Structure 1
Amino acid sequence: MRTRPTLHWTPPPGLPPGTTDLQPVIDALSTGGVLVLTGAGISTESGIPAYRGEGGSLSRHTPMTYQDFTATPQARRRYWARSHLGWRTFGRARPNAGHRTVAAFARHGLLSGVITQNVDGLHQAAGSEGVVELHGSLARVRCLDCDARTARHELAVRLETANAAFEPVAAGINPDGDADLSDEQVADFRVLPCTDCGGILKPDVVFFGETVPAQRIEHCRQLVREARTVLVLGSSLTVMSGLRFVRQAAQEDKRVLIINRDPTRGDPLAHTRVSLPLGTALPAVAAAMSLPIGG
């Protein structure tokens, strides 16, 4: 089963327009049992771009696929050179008001869980606990041969030492931590093997064209079953890995609410889509409910 093959989605005619009315979100949170599903849009205000929408990275960049990564050493050199540079940006990123508000909702017992499609770790940095990282995390590295997992910062130190003269200027940074560099800029980059077995290292994330682990999917499905409402934040729901849970919620007669500035693939299944920036909308919800955000 291929889980992330759809890179582009064109909204069909006739989708209901978005609203600026946050009352349905306030009402849902007031009764609790809300499962939050977040996408790249919640991290844009932390300096990490989204894939889609205005200025999205897919307009200039095609993410690395699992098939490409495993096919040739050249592809892995290109990925690791670009990702090593992009990691510096990810390492500096800090949670924004959206992440902090989600954590505040959880602290006050309003959420039944948080699922994120993001790989940046910003929900956890904001204080959210038990976050399901649907697509993994850039903070970890996995060996494809022995399956050993290590911290990304350890590999970053090794790569800095092995590539001391590597100081290119990137044209941009993408949501998967991949910097835009030319083939010439990465030609001399040295890729390092697993320290345990000498095998191929890969970030512990789900690439496009790769499968989300079945156990992780089932865990998310159980969270949907246990929730009263599914609240989607900052996701176009273009890829099936996130859309499947919205479809499940609709089939189980759970309320689906979406906050996303642009139309999403889940709009036909949603009770409402609020078209507001998350950094504005979520603190406004917290203020209306007299919940301190903190941080």
Structure 2
Amino acid sequence: MSRITPSLEQAAARIAEGGVVAFSGAGISVESGIPDFRSGGGLWERFDPMDHATIDAFRAAPARVWAMFREVHRVLSRSEPNPAHHSLMELERAGVVQGVVTQNIDNLHQRAGSRRVVDYHGNAQLLHCLWCGARYPGSHPADEDGVPYCACGRPLKPTVVLFGEIIPREARERAEALAASARTVLVVGTSGLVEPAASLPVMAREAGASVIEVNLEPSALTDGVTDIFLPGRASEVLSALQGEVARLGVRSRD
């Protein structure tokens, strides 16, 4: 359990005022058994992203890309939302979190019960056809070559944003609208290095929002963007924050 420190009390008081937008990265899902792709033991140690995670690779050799996504789905099938995901859901239910923008593709915020989620980098549990636009659930069966196909005959691709693709317009616009309207930004488990996602907390701060950061270690955002830094495991810190907000009660400034 995270200790109730003056910084945590200050962060909880700001969160209790409402208008909070959470920005989550890989660090929030590590405790669910999903390693950061870039970390030791992560996906990029086994699959060269330039061979398996680019849009050009998918168009040229979809079976090769799907070999990687089968491993992604294997890991995701064994994962469950952890207390950090549930705490954000409870803060949304309490009316203080107005949206979650996640860089993760694991669908864990939705599985925890959060309803206002922007999958900024897509969702591995949803498939789409690049040619006709049809959409399918992630459970759509694969053919003998390991690739699921659309009714139009073309290979299906997870809605995950691959290298060489741009952020989908709807996700970008929803994320930017949330950033612009936020009173407080709650950054959880992100390095602040991956663009354009890393610019969203900066955009919110420039629009007048306070920035609260929860990370094991300082990130690229800590100096110059973050107002309150709360070190520690996301599950412990967010559980403590949610409990303190519940004790304070919602103090909306509307």
TM, length-normalised to structure 2: 0.86
1:277 to 210, 215, 233: 233
2:184 to 208, 220, 229: 229
| Corresponding position of 2:128 | 142
Root-mean-square deviation (CA), in Å?
A: 2.2
Structure 2 CA distance for partners of 1:71 and 1:192, relative to 1, 3 Å: closer
- 60-69 or 77-86, which deviates more: 60-69
1:287 matched to 2:243? The reply is yes
Structure 2 CA distance for partners of 1:266 and 1:58, relative to 1, 3 Å: farther
1:198 matched to 2:153? The reply is yes
| Corresponding position of 1:27 | 13
Contact 1:119 1:138 in 2 (8 A): yes
**1:7-156 to 2 correspondences below 5 Å:** 21-52=7-38, 55=40, 57=42, 60=45, 62-63=48-49, 64-73=52-61, 76-155=62-141
| Corresponding position of 1:181 | none
Query: Structure 2, unaligned stretches of length 5 or more?
Result: 248-254
Alpha-carbon offset, residue 52 of structure 1 = 4.6
User: C-alpha distance in 1, partners of 2:176/2:111?
Assistant: 25
Query: Structure 1, unaligned stretches of length 5 or more?
Result: 1-18, 163-189
Alpha-carbon offset, residue 195 of structure 1 = 3.5
User: C-alpha distance in 2, partners of 1:79/1:86?
Assistant: 11
Structure 2 CA distance for partners of 1:115 and 1:56, relative to 1, 3 Å: farther
Matched AA of 1:57: G
**CA offsets per residue over residues 21-73 of structure 1, 9 Å max, x none?**
322321221111111111111111110011356x4627735434334423522
1:246 matched to 2:231? The reply is no
Contact 1:65 1:209 in 2 (8 A): no
Matched AA of 1:278: A
| Corresponding position of 2:170 | 215
Matched AA of 2:69: S
Contact 2:98 2:116 in 1 (8 A): no
**CA offsets per residue over residues 267-290 of structure 1, 9 Å max, x none?**
221112222100111111122234
Contact 2:215 2:232 in 1 (8 A): yes
Identity of aligned residues (%): 34
Alpha-carbon offset, residue 259 of structure 1 = 0.6
Alpha-carbon offset, residue 256 of structure 1 = 1.2
Matched AA of 1:41: G
The count of aligned residue pairs is 239
User: C-alpha distance in 2, partners of 1:199/1:102?
Assistant: 38
